Amino acid sequence: MLEAILTAVIPVVIIGILCGAGLVIASKVMAVKEDERLPKIRECLPGANCGACGFAGCDGYARALCEHPDTPANLCVPGADTVARQLSELLGVESAAVEKKIAVVHCSGDCTHTQDKVDYKGMESCQAAKLLYGGKGSCTYGCLGLGDCKNVCPQNAICMQDGVAHINRERCIGCGLCTRVCPNRLIDLIPDRETVVVACSNRDKGAAVRKACTSGCIGCRKCERSCPNGAVTVTDNIAVIDYNKCEDCPDFGICARSCPTGALRL
Partner 1 sequence: MTKLIIILLSAVFINNYVLAKFLGICPFLGVSKQLRSAVGMSLAVIFVMLMATAATWPIQKYLLDPHDLGYLQTIVFILVIAALVQLVEIVLKRYMPSLHESLGVYLPLITTNCAVLGVTILNIDEGYTFAEAMVNSLGSGLGFMLAMVMFSGVRSTMEGSDIPESFKGLPITLVAAAITSLSFMGFGGVIENLFS
Angle between helices 57-67 and 37-44 (to 10 degrees): 130
Q: Whose Cβ is closer to partner 1: residue 67's or residue 251's?
A: 67
Residues that bind partner 1 (CB under 8 A): 7-8, 11-12, 15-16, 19-20, 22-23, 26-27, 30-32, 123
Residue 56 CB, shortest distance to partner 1, in Å, is 12
Burial of 225 (C-beta count, 10 Å sphere; 0-12/13-18/19+) = exposed
Dihedral of alpha carbons 198, 202, 204, 208, sign: negative
Q: Whose Cβ is closer to partner 1: residue 16's or residue 260's?
A: 16
CA angle 79, 246, 231 (to 5 degrees): 130
Q: Whose Cβ is closer to partner 1: residue 26's or residue 131's?
A: 26
Q: Whose Cβ is closer to partner 1: residue 23's or residue 132's?
A: 23
Residue 130 CB, shortest distance to partner 1, in Å, is 16
Residue 161 CB, shortest distance to partner 1, in Å, is 23
The alpha carbon torsion through 184, 189, 194, 198 (nearest 10 deg) reads -20
Angle between helices 80-91 and 37-44 (to 10 degrees): 170
Residue 107 CB, shortest distance to partner 1, in Å, is 26
